């Protein structure tokens, strides 16, 4: 979130003034219909329109990214809570059979864990359904842009350094959030296996087996329903870009 706050301030303080005060330096025609834009008050009106247009685009993009990162972080936190819940359950499992109250508490805890795990998996499915296509398009545009940047001459490539750093950071941030989600689900799987299920009655053992079978399925969010969002994808993308540039410049 701090990165996007910095990015927002950077765009507001640097890009928007450059866009509005240096309209002649952009290839896109500014404020069609307000010619001549060099005369007052047309120029001032055009500057207001451009500033509002760019600010709206920046806020929209930043809001989308922050929402995505928040939802990914929240879902990963849910799996982390389930992991801690399952680790504390192993202590209660040792009291199984000592009293009816202990058995009733164990059964209630298992039901709650099953319900919460099902909700977490449903949330992952919803995340993929909502953001899969958008992230896939973003990954594709970022990869193509980086390939085009790096095949340019070095002196030209330096002028695009901020944009290259931003694209790499966004790609890494998405993959990192996806990896956090996958890692949290794997930790929950290990907690289920180590919960002391061998001390439980047969009925509760079957419930734990049901949770374990669900937890053993990899929790991955796919970009464009094809590319898994994880750190491995980030590394493979950088490797592929390097190979492409190396072959292109041979």
pLDDT tens per residue across span 2-37:
666 666 666 666 666 666 666 555 545 566 666 666
Cα-only R_g, the chain: 26
Q: Where are the alpha helices (DSSP H) in 94-222?
A: 100-150, 154-158, 161-193, 202-215
Buried b (16+ CB within 10 A) or exposed e, 170-186: bbebbbbbbbbbbbbbb
- The upper half-sphere exposure of residue 128, i.e. CA atoms within 13 Å in the direction of its Cβ, equals 18
pLDDT tens digit string along 190-210?
Answer: 988 888 777 778 888 888 888
3-state secondary structure of 195: coil
Give the whole-angstrom CA distance, residue 202 versus residue 35: 82
- Residues 1 and 63: their CA atoms lie apart, in Å, by 10
pLDDT at 108: 85
Mean of all residue pLDDT scores within the chain:
80
Residues 245 and 250: their CA atoms lie apart, in Å, by: 9
Burial of 82 (0-12, 13-18, 19+ CB in 10 A): buried
Q: What is the pLDDT of residue 101?
A: 74
Higher-pLDDT residue of 178, 36: 178
Q: Would you state the pLDDT for residue 23?
A: 57
């Amino acid at each position: 979130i701090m990165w996007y706050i910095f990015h927002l301030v950077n765009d507001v303080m640097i890009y928007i003034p450059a866009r509005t005060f240096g309209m002649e330096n952009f290839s896109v025609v500014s404020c069609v219909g307000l010619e001549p834009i060099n005369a007052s008050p047309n120029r001032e009106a055009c500057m207001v329109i451009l500033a509002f247009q760019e600010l709206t685009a920046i806020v929209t993009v930043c809001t989308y990214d922050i929402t995505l990162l928040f939802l990914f972080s929240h879902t990963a936190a849910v799996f982390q809570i389930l992991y801690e819940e399952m680790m504390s359950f192993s202590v209660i499992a040792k009291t199984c059979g000592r009293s009816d109250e202990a058995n009733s508490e164990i059964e209630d805890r298992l039901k709650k864990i099953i319900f919460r795990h099902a909700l977490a998996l449903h949330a992952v499915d919803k995340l993929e359904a909502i953001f899969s296509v958008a992230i896939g398009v973003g990954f594709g545009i970022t990869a193509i842009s980086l390939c085009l940047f790096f095949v340019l001459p070095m002196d030209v490539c330096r002028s695009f350094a901020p944009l290259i750093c931003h694209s790499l950071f966004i790609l890494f941030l998405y993959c990192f959030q996806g990896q956090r989600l996958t890692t949290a689900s794997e930790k929950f799987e290990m907690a289920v296996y180590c919960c002391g299920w061998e001390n439980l009655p047969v009925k509760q053992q079957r419930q734990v087996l049901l949770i374990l079978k669900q937890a053993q399925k990899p929790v991955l969010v796919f970009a464009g329903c094809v590319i898994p969002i994880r750190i491995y994808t980030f590394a493979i993308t950088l490797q592929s870009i390097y190979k492409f540039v190396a072959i292109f410049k041979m």
